[in-house]
Amino acid sequence: MTDEELENLLLSSGLVSPEDLAQAVDETKKLKRPLEKIIIDRHLLTRASLYETIAQHLGFSYVNLENLQPNEELIKIMPMDLARQTQSIPIMIENGKLHIAMVDPTDLYYVDRIQLHTNMPLEIYLSSPEEIKEAQNKLYSERKITKDFLDDLKAKTSSESKGTAGEGSTVIQLVDLIIAQAVRDRASDIHIEPEQEITRIRFRIDGILHEIPSPPKEWESAIISRIKVLAGMDIAESRIPQDGHFQAKFEDRIIDFRVSTIPTVYGENLVMRLLDTASVMIGIEKLGFSTYEELKRFESIISKPYGIILSTGPTGSGKTTTLYSSLMRINTIDRNIVTIEDPVEYRLGLIRQIQVNPKAGITFANGLRSILRQDPDVIMVGEIRDLETAIISIQAALTGHLVLSTLHTNDAPSAVTRLVNMGVEPYLISACLIGVMAQRLVRVICDNCKEPYTPSKALLERWGLSGKENLILYRGRGCEQCRGTGYKGRTGIFELMIIDDELREMIISQASTVALRKKAQEKGMRLLAEDGVSKVLAGITTIEEVARVCEEQVELRPLTEAKAEASPAEPQIPPKEKPAITPVRVDASQLEEYQKRIANWLSRREK
């Protein structure tokens, strides 16, 4: 169903208001994403409601695939390649009929292909593309790694003379395996770390590093070289840091990989950052604001015509996502938005994005000067790192531009002190600063294994919850879906300080951070920990998660009953052939041992 057909269906059904639908259609043009995904992401309809409506219109039934279990008989009847090519998934066999779910059950060509291959009558249902992809991964992917891949490695190894595995067959496949598994596990980074006797590989998932089985040390240089070739880096140079990037296709998603290497005493340490444009959390409704009022307060400052808005927090706290989401909310055809970033992480439609390149003379300060000659309305500066960039940003704000940027501070009031310490005059800060939002990312409790528990009295006192001894909190028990961690996905906790006239006077008089924080709290600002606790009371995250990201706490005020409305945050190598790398010799016994370790690791995960 095309976006236009879906728009007409939703209008005629009355399930979505014309105003909300018009905004969603406008967003599809900006983000180049399907209308159905925008409808779900903006919480205009639930996935089930949307696809039940579509299915009824097409004359089919909608099926939810969340509880689909792997079944060897289904895999034999309908192989993975056929399922992926036809965007379908087998569900069950009943009364001699094969029940399947499809993205487009009206596609007779795909239906005929499935029927010819399976030689069975079909019962066809409609399901969402996301559910079908997840079901395909669950049904086929783990089997592909444990059986097909390892059997192939074993066969290739045994065919080599003297137990030697050629790089062309083994290391390339191993790198593909690592990349594919990282994408399936929703990893944001892959770490390949040399040590004296092993090569450690770790994935960063939901902000936490998880180790996977280590390959033999002898494979290390070949693995690093393979990735460096993909990233366009110099494989002959291992004594200096290098940066590179490449793209890989995983199913129908294009993943950007930013690769960085540094020399260490045991070899080159390599880190790959995974950037999936399709999964970037665009839309300020999805950031995780605890209340509708807090969301509207933030919307009020990003809608202003000029001034500076700062997003603060440590590396990896979601500042860039917040800035992108803010830009997309105000990104309209009548505004000229220009950004300067290091690096440009996601490509956004209708926005001019500039990559910092010191070798070419493009720094934040120089680039910002050039941007001001491009008649911008809104400017995003990736980070204010020095006095020069800060002064130019302030001048831009004072001359009628809206400027968004980031700072590395622990909380919102500290941003003022940080700018003063850089050398910015307090009266300039007072004149242009309109808002500061500090933030952190906390992991969300896994819905599949969520369970209630009664917290201890000491814990309640520590977090300002005295007098609530009968309070019920939630935690994750640990299951296959969350890999035993009890968490799946992340959401934000925020501390939003809006600058009004009274706070401006305090900034000019150089009031302390403590005084600014106290006054901002009086005006309705919630501390990071207070926002975190409200999400704990709402069953979104745990006290342990809030404590992990909010260690430097000031005294918390006793909290009243909190009602949170936040929602949690949610390859094949490119076709161009890469140059061959010098083969590596691997002992057959080492390869067999590594195969067993991978198989055992995946088996434990399945359990």
pLDDT digits (tens, 9 = 90+) for 228-258: 999 999 999 999 999 998 988 776 677 889 9
Strand order, beta sheet including 267-276:
208-212, 199-205, 187-194, 267-276, 253-264, 242-250
Query: Region 376-400: what's the mean pLDDT?
Result: 94
Nearest-Å Rg of the Cα atoms of the chain is 26
CA distances from 220 to 225, 226, 227, 592 (A): 9, 10, 11, 17
Instruction: Give 184: exposed, middle or buried? Use CB within 10 Å, 0-12, 13-18, 19+.
Output: middle
Is the bond preceding 215 in cis, omega lying within 30 degrees of 0? no
DSSP letter (8 states) at residue 374: G
Comparing 403 with 291, the larger pLDDT belongs to 403
Give the CB-side neighbour count of residue 482, counting CA atoms within 13 A: 22
Q: What is the pLDDT of residue 591?
A: 61
pLDDT digits (tens, 9 = 90+) for 124-145: 999 998 889 888 877 775 444 4
Nearest to 293 by CA among 460, 494, 430, 142: 494
Q: Within its chain, how far is the Cα of 321 from the centroid?
A: 9
The answer on pLDDT for 282 being more than 50 is yes
Average per-residue pLDDT for the chain: 83
Lowest mean pLDDT among 42-46, 426-430, 522-526: 42-46
Query: Region 181-196: what's the mean pLDDT?
Result: 91
Q: How confident is the model at residue 74 (pLDDT cuts 50, 70, 90)?
A: confident
The answer on pLDDT for 205 being more than 70 is yes
Return the H-helix or E-strand segment holding 263: strand 253-264
Q: What is the pLDDT of residue 194?
A: 94
pLDDT digits (tens, 9 = 90+) for 440-485: 999 999 988 999 988 877 777 777 777 776 788 999 988 877 878 8
Q: How confident is the model at residue 434 (pLDDT cuts 50, 70, 90)?
A: very high
Contact 401, 378 (CB under 8 A): yes
pLDDT digits (tens, 9 = 90+) for 17-35: 888 888 888 878 766 678 8
Q: At what angle do helices 3-13 and 47-58 cross, to 10 degrees?
A: 100
Query: Region 54-70: what's the mean pLDDT?
Result: 87
Nearest to 42 by CA among 264, 238, 286, 223: 286
